[in-house]
């Protein structure tokens, strides 16, 4: 895969790296293609134990709790931002953190200027489950580690839908891929309003597609399954 050099992105990456002060794992996330090739590994601290975090669903309610390293909720299906202890990045799996967008290692999303707190977070992804995996960073616009992004139902735990045929699983993967492609094609920086807008638009369409294909009961089940309850 050819990686175009973008000075602006490179600058953001460099600044972010300096802010965090930690080293990053540089891993190609090719989960969409069904493979994951790790090209580097230097996470300061892998998630070997359950991790505390706060998740805000699109209902505006913050769900605070523990993200299990063995979780089957959306947290192990997607890249999520987990507040790390000072200067430490964390990983959602023992294989090391995963952090990518458009084939380029991404900088840690910065908190917007109107938020408080240090931006000591990074992006992690759990082990490759074989289920749709989100290869991009959810936007965070409230505070570091607080997600206001709607994670599309296509990234939820499919076990909540009962037995699925291979073609149904493929359809879910297709919806997930379309979402990822749409966000990536925005070419926006992960901490920008444009990125958030691209995310929200793509998530809206992904959920419409999921609801249309699998019906309201399945959509609701997937939404419930991805809400983490401590």
Partner 1 sequence: MKFKKNLLIGTLAALSLGVAHATTGSVTYFSGATSFQATTDAALLQYATNNGGNLVTWDNATFGKETNAIYTYVTGGVTNQIIVHWAGSENIIQALAAPSNNPVKFNYYGTNAPAGLVSVTNATNSQSPQAALYDNAQGTSFFNGNSAGDGRTYGSIQNDTPVAVEGYVWIANTNWPVAATTNATVTAGVSTNVITYGNITSAQVRELFSAGAVPLAYITGNAGDTTNAVFAFGRNIDGGTRTVWFNETGLGVQTPVVQYQLVVTNGLNKLNLYPIETIDGISSGTLGNSGYSSDGTLRGLFTNALASGPGIDLSGSFVGYAGNNYFIGYSSTHNATGSAGVKFLTYNGVVPSSANVENGTYSGWAFARVGESATASTTASHGVATSVESIIQSFTDAQLGAGNAKISNLQVNRDSDGGNIYPIY
For partner 1, the binding residues (CB under 8 A) are 165-168, 170-171, 174, 205, 208-209, 211-219
Residue closer to partner 1 (CB basis): 59 or 208: 208
- Minimum CB distance to partner 1, residue 145 (Å): 31
Q: How far apart are the first and last CA of the chain?
A: 40
CB of 124 to partner 1, least distance (A): 29
Burial of 114 (0-12, 13-18, 19+ CB in 10 A): exposed
Q: Minimum distance between the CB of residue 101 and partner 1, rounded to whole angstroms? A: 22
CB nearer to partner 1: give 45 or 178.
Answer: 178
Task: Single out the residue of 182, 94, 170 nearest to residue 130, CA to CA.
Answer: 170
Q: Which is nearer to partner 1, 88 or 211 (CB)?
A: 211
Single out the residue of 134, 35, 39, 46 nearest to residue 96, CA to CA. 46
Residue 63 contacts residue 57 (beta carbons within 8 Å): yes
DSSP 133: -
Consecutive H or E run containing 13: helix 7-20
Q: How near is the Cβ of 220 to partner 1 at its closest, in Å?
A: 10
CB closer to partner 1, 74 vs 219: 219
Smallest gap, in angstroms, from Cβ of residue 182 to partner 1?
12
Of residues 129 and 168, the one with the C-beta less far from partner 1: 168
CB–CB of 179/157 below 8 Å?
no
């Amino acid at each position: 895969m050819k990686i175009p050099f973008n000075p602006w992105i490179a600058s953001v990456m460099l600044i972010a790296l300096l802010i965090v002060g930690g080293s990053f794992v540089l891993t190609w996330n090719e989960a969409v293609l069904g493979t994951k090739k790790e090209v580097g590994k230097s996470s300061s601290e892998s998630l070997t134990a359950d991790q505390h975090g706060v998740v805000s669903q699109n209902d505006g309610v913050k769900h605070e709790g523990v993200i299990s390293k063995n979780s089957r909720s959306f947290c192990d299906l997607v890249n999520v931002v987990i507040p790390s202890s000072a200067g430490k990045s964390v990983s959602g799996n023992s294989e090391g953190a995963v952090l990518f967008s458009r084939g380029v290692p991404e900088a840690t999303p910065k908190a917007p200027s109107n938020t408080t707190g240090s931006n000591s977070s990074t992006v992690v992804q759990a082990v490759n489950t074989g289920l749709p995996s989100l290869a991009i960073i959810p936007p965070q616009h409230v505070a570091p580690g607080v997600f206001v992004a709607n994670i599309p139902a296509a990234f939820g735990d499919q076990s909540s839908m009962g037995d699925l045929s291979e073609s149904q699983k493929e359809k879910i993967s297709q919806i997930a891929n379309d979402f990822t492609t749409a966000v990536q094609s925005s070419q926006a920086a992960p901490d920008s309003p444009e990125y958030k807008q691209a995310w929200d638009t793509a998530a809206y369409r992904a959920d419409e597609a999921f609801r249309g294909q699998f019906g309201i009961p399945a959509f609701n089940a997937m939404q419930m399954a991805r809400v983490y309850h401590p």
